[in-house]
Amino acid sequence: MKTLKCVLVLFTFVGLNLVGCSNESQSPVSPLEKSSMQKSFSREFTGDAIPTGVDFMGIFKYPDGKVMLKDHRGPTYFTATFFDGTPDLLTGPGYVEINGLSDYNTGVGQWHGKLTLTPDAAEGGEWNFTWHGKATLGPSGWTIPLKEAGHGKGGVLGGMQCRMELIISAPADLSTWTGQSHGFVISH
């Protein structure tokens, strides 16, 4: 009887080792779910921004050749193309606030403001950007390379950051603008 018990214990031990016991910890999620839950990544993109209207035009012209935009606000639309495909974490409507002072005599200016984007795929999240840059007046109008830093809030964007350079092109009278960007969405 003792021999039979020893054989049964031995078979049970060997069976558990072959079937269910492992030195590697088992995860309750599949490898596909694991890859989508990765917290650290950097995704490169290019994009375009265009205004879709103006809510407030705070443009002030001074006799000395300077033009100031103060709390110039309006809706915009941003489209992005990510180098690694989907999901698109930026494309969607936004709202921009523009402040700046440009001197037509010297052809330079300083600009700063805020941008809020609500991407279509953000599942309730939004980006809150601050930006600044130096404007230069050339033969075809103003060129304003902006440095933008954004923080994701809510939805799938919570905890993410975005860094981009947005190059604004505007006619000399600053009546409209378009922008082309390059940047990275980062999650830590």
Residue 113 domain-assigned?
A: yes
| Count of the separate structural domains present in the chain | 1
Give the tens place of pLDDT for each residue, 66-75.
Answer: 989 888 899 9
Q: pLDDT by residue (tens digit) across 140-181?
A: 999 999 999 999 999 899 999 999 999 999 999 888 899 999
Residue 38 resides in a domain:
no
Residue 13 lies in a domain: no
User: Is 24 inside a domain boundary?
Assistant: no
Quote the CA–CA distance of 9 and 16 in Å, as a whole number.
11
Token pair of 64, please?
A: 């000395």
User: Which CATH number covers residue 94?
Assistant: 2.40.350
* 26 lies in some domain: no
Q: Is residue 131 part of a domain?
A: yes
Q: Is the pLDDT of residue 28 over 50?
A: no
Exposed/middle/buried for residue 112 (C-beta within 10 Å: 0-12, 13-18, 19+): middle
Q: What is the pLDDT of residues 67-115, one digit of tens each?
A: 898 888 999 999 999 999 889 999 999 999 999 999 999 999 999 999 9
Q: Is residue 176 part of a domain?
A: yes
Q: How far apart are CA 93 and CA 67, in angstroms?
A: 28
Report yes or no on 109 lying in a domain. Answer: yes
Q: Which range marks the domain in which residue 99 is found?
A: 45-187
Q: Is the confidence at residue 129, as pLDDT, over 90?
A: yes
